[in-house]
Amino acid sequence: MSRTGLKGRRSAAGRTRRRSIGVAVLLAISVATAVTPPPASAVPPPPPNPSDADIAGAQARVGDGISRVSDLIDRVAAANQQLAALDAAVAVKREDVNKALVDLQNARSAADAAAAAVTLAQRALQDAGQIISDAQRKFDSAAVTDYIRGTGSAGASSLLDADGPQDVLDRAQLLRLLSAKQNAVLDGLQRARTEQANRDSAARASKVEADRASAAADAKKAEAEQAIAAAVAAQQDQSARKAAVEANRDAAAAELESARAGAAGLESQRDAYTRWDAQRQAEEAAAAEAARQAEQAAAAAAARVAADQAAADRAATAAAAAPDHTDLVGATRPGTGTSSGSGAGASSGAGTSGSGTSSGAGTSSGTGTSGTGTGTTTPSKPSVGKPAVTGSAAIELVIDRGMSVLGTPYSWGGGNENGPTKGIRDGGVADSYGDYNKVGFDCSGLMMYAFGGLGISLPHYTGYQYTAGKQVPSSQMKRGDMLFWGPGASQHVALYLGDGTMLEAPQSGDVVKVSPVRWSGMTPYAVRMVE
C-alpha cells in the first residue's frame, strides 16, 4: 500500500473516531437536558366541577318539589275518594233501574197474559152463546113440532096415536124426560155464559192492573234514567277535575324527578371530578417519577455509551462502511465493495470510490467494480456481520444505546449506526413536520444505532431487518429482541425492553420513547440478534 493511501486511511479513520466521540458527547448532553419520558396513560378531559352553591340550589329545588308533589298527591287522593262515592251512587241508581226494568217486564208479561186470556174468554163466550142460541132454536123447533104433532107433550095427538093407556103413559113420561134434559142443557149453557162473563171481567181487571204497573215502571225508568244522567254528568265533571289534578301531579313529579336528577347529577359530577382530580394527581406524580427515572436511566445509559469507546468505534466503522441512506445520487457513497467482518474488525468500506478495494480497521476487505461507483444488489437476507459482544452484556449494550437517545426527535429516514441524522422528504406527512430538516431517528434507524455498538450493520428498512437475525415466536420474545408490525414487517419496528414495554421511534412529530407493547398487528415472529 502506498504512503499516500496509508496516510489517507489513517486520516479517514481518525476523522471517523473523532466524529463518533463528538456524537456520543452530544447525545449525552441532549439526554441529560432534554430527555422526554414516555407519557403516562392519557387522563380523560376533566368533568364539570359544580360549585357548592349549585348543589345547594339543586337540593332546595328538590325540597320545593317534594312539598308541591305532596300537596297534589293529597288533592288527587281526595278526588279519588269523591269519585269512589259517585261510582257507588251511580251503581245504586243503575241497580234501581235494573229493578224497575225487571218489574216493568214482569208487569208487561202479566198484562200480555191477561189480554190473551180475555181474548180467549171472549172467543169462548161467543162460541158458548152461539151454541146456546143453536140449542134454543132446536129446542123451540122441537117443542113446536111436538106440540103440533102431539109427540112432545101430553096433548091430544099423543093420546090419539097411543095404542093404549099404557102407551100414553110412556109417551108422557118420555116427554117429561126430554123436557127436563133440555132444561138442564139450557141451564148449563147459561151458567157457562155467566162464568165466561165473569172471566172476561177478571181479565179486564187484570189488564187494567197490568197497565197501571207498566205506567209505574215507565215512571221509575224515567226517574232512574234521570238519576243515571245526573250521576254520569257528576262523574264526568269529577273525572275532568281529577285528570287536571293528576296532570299537575305528574308534572310536579317530573319536576321533582328532574330536580333530584339534577342534584344527584351535580353531586355525581362533583364526585367524578374529585376522582378525576385524584387520578390526575396520581398519574402526574407517576409521570413525574417515571420522567425522573427515565432521565436518570437515560443519563446513565448515555454515560455508559459515551464511555464505551470500543462500541463507538464499532458503530463508527459500521456507519462508515454503509452508504448514506439519504443519498439519492450516490455522490457521498464511501465505496462500492461488499464487506463483511467480525468483532471490532468489521470492514469500514471507507476507501475512495472506484479504487477497486477498500480496507477497514480490521482484517476483512471488500471488492467492488472498478471505476463504476454503482451499488450492489440487495440480498434476500441481508448480511449484518457477527456481533463483537454476545450474551447479556451485548443485550444491555444494545438497550443502553437505545435508551441513551430518549427524547430525540423522530425524523423519517434519519439515523444510522453512528447516531441521529437528518431525514428525507416524503412529499407528505413527514414534510409537514419538517423531518427532512430534523436530526433524529425513524424506527429502523433507531434499531441501526442500538445494534451498531455491537458492530452489527442493519439495513435501513424494517422488512430487511425482519430477516436479519433469528426469528422466534412473538409469544417467546425476550429483552433485546426486535418487534415488528405490518405485513412482512413493513410498517414498524421497536426494541423489546421486558415487562411489557418497548423502545420506539413512533412517527413524525413524536420522539424516541418507551411505550407499552402493542399486540394488535404484530408479526408472528420477533427477531433475536444476540443470544
By annotation, the residues acting in catalysis are 443, 492, 504
Grid coordinates representing 97 are 233501574
Query: Residue 300: which region, alpha, beta or left (left: phi > 0; alpha: psi -120 to 50)?
Result: alpha
Give the span between the Cα atoms of 425 and 413, in whole angstroms. 8
E strands, 394-521, in order: 421-422, 439-440, 470-473, 482-485, 492-498, 501-504, 513-516
Give the span between the Cα atoms of 108 and 213, in whole angstroms. 8
Burial-class residue 468 by CB neighbours within 10 Å (0-12, 13-18, 19+).
buried
C-beta of residue 405 within 8 angstroms of C-beta of residue 420: yes
Give the span between the Cα atoms of 38 and 294, in whole angstroms. 8
For 367, 371, 382, 414, the CA distances from 375, given in Å and listed in that order, are 12, 12, 14, 20
CA 209 to chain centre: 78
Give the span between the Cα atoms of 174 and 144, in whole angstroms. 16
CA dihedral 244, 245, 249, 251 (to 10 degrees): 20
C-beta of residue 489 within 8 angstroms of C-beta of residue 432: no
C-beta of residue 503 within 8 angstroms of C-beta of residue 446: yes
Residue that has been written with the C-alpha cell 445520487 in this structure? 329
Measured from the Cβ of residue 344, the count of other Cβ atoms closer than 10 Å reads 17
First to last CA, the chain: 39
CA-closest candidate to residue 487, choices 520, 516, 465, 463:
463
Give the span between the Cα atoms of 303 and 283, in whole angstroms. 29
CA dihedral 311, 314, 315, 318 (to 10 degrees): -170
Give the span between the Cα atoms of 76 and 68, in whole angstroms. 12
Give the span between the Cα atoms of 307 and 27, in whole angstroms. 12
C-beta of residue 344 within 8 angstroms of C-beta of residue 362: yes
Helix or strand run (H / E) with residue 223? helix 165-307
Give the type of residue at 261: A
Give the span between the Cα atoms of 186 and 196, in whole angstroms. 15
